[in-house]
Chains A and B, each alone.
Chain A
């Protein structure tokens, strides 16, 4: 169990770093493909609850530190830096989402791979929407133009397409590492094959 959990946490962190190399899609009004919510959704369904929280903590912490926005700095009048989104915000968000998704684990263990697909899309949308709401709260003025919905919903749809591939790869790795992510470990990819 632990090797698979460590691998999954490592893959989630790598996905966040890889995110920096991905450009925004102009055709989708600046929307981006986001891979790590798909991994977060998989971890929430496949891992026991303590490890779900560990995954949420690591992913949230790295995301907040990588995207920390310093508004004022020592060179300005205030003399102290202030940050827009406090480190820990994503930890709470991912922890909440992980806990909610973990509630559907029994279905996932019974072979319903489509649960992961659905949750990957919803998790991506929830993360982006929450980030936008926090941003509005900090900067003031709630505005929801159509572009905003493009940037939230399009990554969710992209995640729906990425999820089966991620599911297949991670389930095979789990099988190789002898971690039973399904009730019947001998049919590790059976659900997906049935679905396809």
Chain B
């Protein structure tokens, strides 16, 4: 090896050693900085992709647009009425809770976000969204779509954040199965990082009576990340009883391969 090669190798080893000595918080900050720096690239790519998709699939005739407009107006009116009814019920519920001196439940607001980059690695499931610290996003905030829970935020930079998907083995959610009082821990499997992954509920009691088609909801453990009542999916087949617990396979409620518009659940500090 040449002298220059030896010096380069020494520098490489020292620099790598320095990287290994970084504490996790510094690594997370560095990751957030890189995330912030590359966000414009991802954002532009995502916008171009959306425009191309809109161009190729969105050319409609005037009659079709008129039909769409009518349908959307009707739907909008229906939703307004439903929303008002729910608001009334919410107020009533809050008043009753106050009357019964219940501890007031935390209020949340939903921040809409757009997926600007998908997971690039084979073994991890995460996406990048276009919302960050400036929008009030912090790490460990639940992320959902209208179909159900998607995951939670991890590394957050000023204007972007990573969302760890429920399909990842590292994203664990306390869940209960519809119609039962049994609780377990749901997560993805090690190889469930494909387009339509499979989820698994572990640590269920051996007596669990799960039937295919039953819905799975987050159970909202005290002090945990996920509030209760968020849909995660449906039971695929009857429980598989093992030596110490039972396991149930779950079909995710959200199509992970088509994630585009998400909502981040942020605590409402104004208490409205």
Contacts and interface: CB of A to CB of B under 8 A. Distances in A.
Interface of A: 16-17, 19-24, 26, 29-32, 48-50, 53-54, 56-57, 61-62, 65-71, 73-77, 80-84, 86-88, 91-92, 95, 128, 131-132, 135-136, 139, 143, 145, 147-148, 151-152, 155
Contact of B19 (A23, A56, A88): A88
Contact of A21 (B19, B22, B45, B123): B45
A66 B118 contact: no
A83 B124 contact: no
Nearest to B168: A69
B12 A82 contact: no
Contacts of B122: 24, 30-32, 128, 131-132, 151-152, 155
A20 B195 contact: no
A92 B49 contact: no
A62 B34 contact: yes
A151 B191 contact: yes
Contact of B155 (A68, A74, A84, A147): A68
Contacts of A92: 16
A70 B30 contact: no
B16 A71 contact: no
Please indicate which of the listed interface residues B12, B124, B170, B195 has the most CB atoms of chain A within 10 Å of its own CB.
B12
A20 B155 contact: no
Nearest to A67: B121
A128 B124 CA distance: 12
Contacts of A31: 122
Count chain B CB atoms within 10 A of each CB in A16, A32, A84, A87 and give the residue with the most. Answer: A87
Interface-central residue, A70, A71, A77, A131, by most chain B CB under 10 Å:
A70
A112 to B, nearest CB: 22
B24 interface: yes
A96 to B, nearest CB: 11
Contacts of A49: 1-2, 4-5, 8-9
Contacts of A56: 12
B191 to A, nearest CB: 5
B120 A65 contact: no
Interface residues of B, number: 55
A65 B30 contact: yes
Contact of A53 (B12, B34, B38, B126): B12
A39 to B, nearest CB: 15
A17 B45 CA distance: 10
Nearest to A18: B45
A137 to B, nearest CB: 12
B12 A57 contact: yes
Given A68-B155, A151-B122, A83 B2 contact: no
Contact of B121 (A62, A131, A148): A131
B31 A65 contact: yes
B214 interface: no
Contacts of A23: 118, 195, 257
A29 B8 CA distance: 40
10 contacts: A19-B120, A23-B118, A30-B122, A53-B11, A83-B24, A83-B28, A88-B22, A95-B12, A128-B122, A132-B123
Contacts of B170: 69, 71, 84, 139
A31 B194 CA distance: 8
A66 B194 contact: no
Contacts of B76: none
Interface string B105-136: 00000000000011111111010100000000
A50 B117 contact: no
A114 to B, nearest CB: 26
Given A65-B30, A75-B139, A80-B25, 11 more contacts: A21-B45, A21-B118, A30-B193, A66-B34, A68-B31, A70-B164, A87-B31, A91-B19, A135-B190, A139-B169, A139-B170
